[in-house]
Amino acid sequence: MQRAAAATARSRSSSTVWNAARHRGSVPRCVAAASFAGSRGDGAAAARPLRIPGPGGRLALSLPRLSGGRAATTRAAVAAAAGVPLPADDVGAVERSGVGGLAETAQLGAMIAAWYLLNIYFNIYNKQVLQALPFPYTITAFQLGFGSVLIFLMWATKLHPPPRITPAQLAKIAPLAAGHMLGTVFTNMSLGKVAVSFTHTIKASEPFFTVLLSAFFLGETPSLLVLGSLVPIVGGVALASLTEVSFNWTGFWSAMASNLLYQSRNVLSKKLLGVEEESLDDINLFSVLTVLSFLLSCPLMLFAEGIKFTPGYLQSTGINLQELCVRAALAGFCFHGYQKLSYLILARVSPVTHSVANCVKRVVVIVSSVLFFRTAISPVNALGTGAALGGVFLYSRLKRTKPKDA
């Protein structure tokens, strides 16, 4: 009993000393809060005291061994504030945590850079192919077919486990695949008719369709701030359209149709895909969507362009067929690569971060295409594009409380 009473008294004395030190400013409040968070025992395996000098002796703070880098950094902060050395094993834990965090950040940065580069090269190669061969249905089927070959290679080599999918799941995914395929067709149609920068300026209006379709199909009511963020998007697209040198209605409405179809796919996926589809991870869902889109694109291609697209036609145009095939293959690879990277990045970051990165990607693609193709752009056109992209960024930030994509 006497030992227990003495221990209690020491504990109270230590607490008093610690609080007094904290209020005097010798220990920062943030460190005190950190030590309190650590001392609660969240994920603790075994508590271990960290001895800190105080008035009348050394103050023993009992900080647990938490899993991961959180405990190590907590103990390091407390020790640094008190001016005492950190035990060797804690030093190693802090170093390992820092190295691991830097490695993950570097890996994510490399993935985002590759995502941007693949998107830039896809738009360049795709525009060149569409200028030489104005067959958007055929180009779409080729791109989806190229991606399907890569997907089957991925499954065959066990780089990613193949999915176990039921006929009921396929029936639910099929409408989404149709929207994905037609969205790609209309994007290619727009890219073939107008400048790459203008197509992507129009595609910046995706949030407008997301809000509209979410309200219609899911019953989601947007806030006034979200609705306000749509004003610069719509106004910017309208201003850019009025001053676009390459403007034509086919290119404009094709890009708008692409927005409608892609966002319908995104919104309907929430409504159609239920609990049983959770067995499909993001990569396999995207893979199945791509393969189904390719199968749906083949009859449409044959019906719309199959009669025109013949060896005789290719000879009559005087196209360098080998060079065209190489660029088409590169465009197909970039198309599949940047979409898969988009899913991989989304699995590592929050939907809002992904949306912001996607907004920056559109800026990078627009600037790169303007420089590469030497697209004429007036100050008013640039203002409209900037306003639309600024509205997209604002929309992404305002939607952070309700977290999102190609």
Higher pLDDT, 53 or 331: 331
State the burial class of residue 381 (Cβ atoms within 10 Å of its Cβ: 0-12, 13-18, 19+).
buried
Q: Give the pLDDT of residue 164.
A: 87
Tokens of 139: 């180009």
What would the pLDDT profile of 149-186 be if each residue is shown by its tens digit?
A: 999 999 999 999 998 888 888 888 999 999 999 999 99
Q: Give the pLDDT of residue 90.
A: 56
Using the CB atoms, write b or e for 349-363: b if 16+ within 10 Å: eeebbbbbbbbebbb
Higher pLDDT, 40 or 384: 384
Please give the Cα distance from 4 to 1 (Å, whole number): 5
Please give the Cα distance from 308 to 75 (Å, whole number): 72
Residues near 3 by beta carbon (within 8 Å), at least 6 away in sequence: none
CA 127 vs. chain centroid, Å, equals 24
State the burial class of residue 37 (Cβ atoms within 10 Å of its Cβ: 0-12, 13-18, 19+).
middle
Q: Give the pLDDT of residue 325.
A: 86
Q: Give the pLDDT of residue 19.
A: 47
CA 324 vs. chain centroid, Å, equals 31
Q: Give the pLDDT of residue 83.
A: 54
What's the pLDDT band for 335 if we cut at 50, 70, 90? very high
- pTM of structure: 0.71
Say yes or no to pLDDT of 401 above 80. no
Considering only CA atoms, which of 364, 316, 345 is closest in space to residue 120?
A: 364
Q: Give the pLDDT of residue 97.
A: 53
Type of residue numbered 66: L
Higher pLDDT, 78 or 264: 264
Please give the Cα distance from 205 to 232 (Å, whole number): 10
What would the pLDDT profile of 274-284 be if each residue is shown by its tens digit?
A: 554 456 787 88
SS3 198: helix
Q: Once rounded to an integer, what is the mean pLDDT over residues 14-18?
A: 43
For the chain, what is the mean pLDDT?
A: 78
